[in-house]
């Protein structure tokens, strides 16, 4: 059985003081976790968090990566730059990037490719809006989003992590039921199996408002191999509770 992954997405939150308090609290309480653990932090705090997490069981991740290797792209962060901070993961295609920054399926696929090219594991996000769910298009949308990444990355697809994040459940306090989440994860698993003989090694994370109260039921589902955690990853005890549930 593959080891589960719990990855925190801090989004645009944090400060030097708050980051230190949070990470020291996590390190003090985490012990030997039953799963892999990572925190994906704002780029400006990568150096601080790298130092605080050095030699620990918590791995470091970023929240975005450029689709370009280098050049005149003001404000972008190149894959090689992220690699210098010892990153294990980078989130690509988060719904907020798609919605607010106009990232297309094709751009997300190239970002995943850039991450893989420098040895960083992309956490590829897919998910439908409430309007798309109500129109019965959930499966169509997530399969289209994932298909672009599969097409661009071919034989390397088994090296990615996929996170299903129903847009309607992000930051709203709503969450898909364990059964709803499993249904979509099963669709994604089947799509990956059709694309790669090594699909069973790919971790599928649930990323729609997983919290301390619902983590155990979600993580008990056969095709849910972890969580991409938003708000709860900023609360020491909540995040530790979710980690403990990922057995």
CB 192 within 8 A of CB 201: no
CA dihedral sign of residues 162, 126, 181, 123? positive
Residues whose CB falls within 8 Å of the CB of residue 44, separated by 6 or more in sequence, listed in order: none
Residues whose CB falls within 8 Å of the CB of residue 124, separated by 6 or more in sequence, listed in order: 92, 93, 108, 112, 146, 149, 160, 161, 162, 163
Query: Which residues belong to the active site?
Result: 94, 165
Residues facing 161 on adjacent strands: 123
4 labelled binding-site residue: no
Q: Are strands 204-206 and 36-41 parallel, antiparallel or unpaired?
A: unpaired
CB 24 within 8 A of CB 52: yes
11 labelled binding-site residue: yes
Can you tell me the distance from the alpha carbon of 195 to that of 179, in angstroms, rounded to the nearest whole number? 25
226 labelled binding-site residue: no
171 labelled binding-site residue: yes
Can you tell me the distance from the alpha carbon of 153 to that of 151, in angstroms, rounded to the nearest whole number? 6
10 labelled binding-site residue: yes
9 labelled binding-site residue: yes
19 labelled binding-site residue: no
CB 161 within 8 A of CB 202: yes
* Binding site feature residues for substrate: 9-11, 171, 209, 230-231
Binding residues: 9-11, 171, 209, 230-231
């Amino acid at each position: 059985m593959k080891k589960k992954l719990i990855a925190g997405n801090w989004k645009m939150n944090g400060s030097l003081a708050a980051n230190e308090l949070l990470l020291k609290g996590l390190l003090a309480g985490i012990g030997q976790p039953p799963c892999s653990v990572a925190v994906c932090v704002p780029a400006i705090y990568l150096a601080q968090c790298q130092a605080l997490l050095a030699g620990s069981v918590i791995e470091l991740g970023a929240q975005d990566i450029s689709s370009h290797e280098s050049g005149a792209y003001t404000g972008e962060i190149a894959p090689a730059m992220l690699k210098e901070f010892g990153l294990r993961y980078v989130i690509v295609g988060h719904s907020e990037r798609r919605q607010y920054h106009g990232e297309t399926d094709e751009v997300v696929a190239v970002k995943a490719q850039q991450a893989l090219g420098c040895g960083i594991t992309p956490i590829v996000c897919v998910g439908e809006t409430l309007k798309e769910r109500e129109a019965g298009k959930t499966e169509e949308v997530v399969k289209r989003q994932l298909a672009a990444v599969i097409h661009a990355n071919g034989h390397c697809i088994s090296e990615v992590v996929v996170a299903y994040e129903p847009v309607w459940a992000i930051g709203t306090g709503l969450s898909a039921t364990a059964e709803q989440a499993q249904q979509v994860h099963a669709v994604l698993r089947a799509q990956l199996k059709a694309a790669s003989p090594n699909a069973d090694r790919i971790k599928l994370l649930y990323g729609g408002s997983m919290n301390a109260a619902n983590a155990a039921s979600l993580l008990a589902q056969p095709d849910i191999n972890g969580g991409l955690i938003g708000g709860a990853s900023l609360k020491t005890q909540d995040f530790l509770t979710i980690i403990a549930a990922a057995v």
